[in-house]
Amino acid sequence: GVMLSHKNLTNMVSMLASVFEMDTGDGVLSVLPLYHTFEFSTGFLTPISRGTQITYLAELNGEELARAIKNGHVTGMVGVPALWELLHRRIMSRLRERGEWVGNTAEALLRFNSWLRDKTPLNLGQIVFRPIHRGLGGNIRYLISGGSALNEKIKRDMHGLGFTILEGYGLTEASPVLTVTRPQNSLNASSVGKALPGVEIRIAEPDASGIGEVIARGPNVMLGYYRNEQATQGALVSRWLYTGDLGRLDDEGNLYLVGRSKEIIVDTNGKNVYPDEIEELYKDSPLVKELGVVGLAEGIGEKVACLVVPDYDCDIALQRDEIQRRVENHFREVSSTLPFYKRVKALYFTDVELPRTATRKVKRREVVQIIQSLEASKRAGITEKTAPREQHHDADWLLGLVATVSGRTRAQVSLDSRLAELGFDSLMFVELATAIEQAGGTIVSPDTLNEVVDVRELYSVVRRREAAASKRAAEARAEEEAR
């Protein structure tokens, strides 16, 4: 574990308070767990040190979130990219629901306002998009994102809507913030900002383009790793923290991240996933000869993927397809026992040995290349792949909701669709639960919703009022027949 001292945390509060103006007239909405150093420092310690009101949710769902934002005198929010993706998706879908003309006009206006804010001190978003600002309480000053990279389009769209969305960078070892974009009218969408006051950022061993490992020094940097001197010496060299992230600095001190030198996978919620740990969890099957876990870029984060070399000689009575099917079942069973963020989301098979170093460590970058090659071959052989439309008319409403929340077409979703492969994360499950309730459905066991593996399993734990279900099913059939 990371050892953070009282001095580390008080220095972090002082640094953040010097960048973000807040006082007793402000209010912060807390949506992340307090055991995250990001929330603990930015969403708890800093506001409370300034006498700022903090609002907590009794339950994290769409309805409670909307009510708290609107009624809680919220002037600032701290969140991971998945939260801003959810908010962005809801805002844009509401605009498009008003018709094609309204949707296109709104997008043109937000692009214009984003350009205007970059060039002038003006911000027309709070006037042009007043209903959206009112829907969020009308008092929002800061939206702060951290944990993993935020999609540039989301930043640009929120900027165009008139919100000031800021992005920070750091890690637990730094209490946790190292850099943050400053509150201003213009937007540098590709940068994670400048170092906090008192923090030094350098690029170690930069290449010809200025890219190298990001290292940092400051009073917020950890004491070390608890009872792990070897790991401490590897991360702290002459008081410089080696982050394992690759980046570059511009002439003004803005940091731009370009990748990771470490093998940690960071999902859309900023959760750290360690490949070695995941491999240990899934390897115990006689049908698995080798496996390598990697992170594949997906939207605003990475998804956990695994390349497996099956042992086809384990049982000569079984065909290749049957062995692969049993490996898939093994992965499904293991996944059902794990937190969502640790589950393998994409499974691939190969007959060749995994690339390894002289010390037998998996070369993960080469594994990613193998997977990308498999995906390319798959795309080349399939012109269009759609999920079969099963005759489960009473489930059409649920399939439609899953498609909408995941951003897929209805044809791409069936009862056998795996939610992980549709890109579901914890906040998307919250959005899905809200959509189910609004459609007249109830979830038998809400606490286990994010443990559901596929749509068929989801369908088994959802109940719906018969009258509403019959009416919507009839409407769905009529619409299908009309097509």
Q: Tens of pLDDT along 379-427?
A: 766 433 444 444 456 788 898 888 888 877 788 888 888 887 787 776 6
Say what the pLDDT of residue 37 is: 92
Band of residue 469 on the pLDDT scale cut at 50, 70, 90: very low
Q: Is 309 exposed, middle or buried (0-12, 13-18, 19+ CB in 10 A)?
A: middle
* Interatomic CA distance for residues 476 and 393, integer angstroms: 8
Q: With respect to CATH, is domain 2-197 assigned 3.40.109.10?
A: no
Q: Tens of pLDDT along 44-66?
A: 999 999 999 999 987 776 677 87
Q: Which two structure tokens, joined as six digits, stand for 420? A: 């992980």
Average pLDDT over residues 341-370: 85
Give the lowest-confidence range in 23-27, 88-92, 107-111, 385-389.
385-389
Say what the pLDDT of residue 44 is: 96
8 Å CB contact between 183 and 142 = yes
pTM: 0.66
Band of residue 224 on the pLDDT scale cut at 50, 70, 90: very high
Q: Which of 381, 382, 385, 349 is nearest to 367 (CA)?
A: 349
DSSP secondary structure code for residue 436 in this structure:
H
H/E run at residue 56: strand 53-56
Query: How crowded is residue 472: how many other Cβ atoms within 10 Å of its Cβ?
Result: 18
Q: Where are the domains of the chain?
A: 2-197, 265-383, 395-482
Residues 69-97, buried b or exposed e (16+ Cβ, 10 A)? Answer: beebbbbbbbbbbbbbbbbbbbbbeebee
Say what the pLDDT of residue 447 is: 63
Average pLDDT over residues 96-122: 93
DSSP secondary structure code for residue 362 in this structure:
B
Average pLDDT over residues 447-466: 77
Average pLDDT over residues 150-157: 89
Tell me if residue 236 falls in helix, strand or coil.
Answer: strand
- CATH of span 395-482: 1.10.1200.10
Q: Tens of pLDDT along 283-333?
A: 989 999 999 999 998 766 788 999 999 998 888 888 889 999 999 999 999
Say what the pLDDT of residue 304 is: 93
Average pLDDT over residues 136-160: 89
Q: With respect to CATH, is domain 265-383 assigned 3.40.20.10?
A: no
Question: Fold identical between 265-383 and 395-482?
Answer: no
Band of residue 1 on the pLDDT scale cut at 50, 70, 90: confident
Band of residue 441 on the pLDDT scale cut at 50, 70, 90: confident
Q: Which two structure tokens, joined as six digits, stand for 428? A: 């998307």
Give the lowest-confidence range in 74-88, 117-131, 449-463.
449-463
Say what the pLDDT of residue 475 is: 53
* Interatomic CA distance for residues 312 and 324, integer angstroms: 9
Say what the pLDDT of residue 246 is: 86
39-43, 340-344, 432-436: which is most confident? 39-43
Q: Tens of pLDDT along 229-271?
A: 999 999 999 999 999 888 999 999 999 988 766 677 888 777 8
Say what the pLDDT of residue 433 is: 81
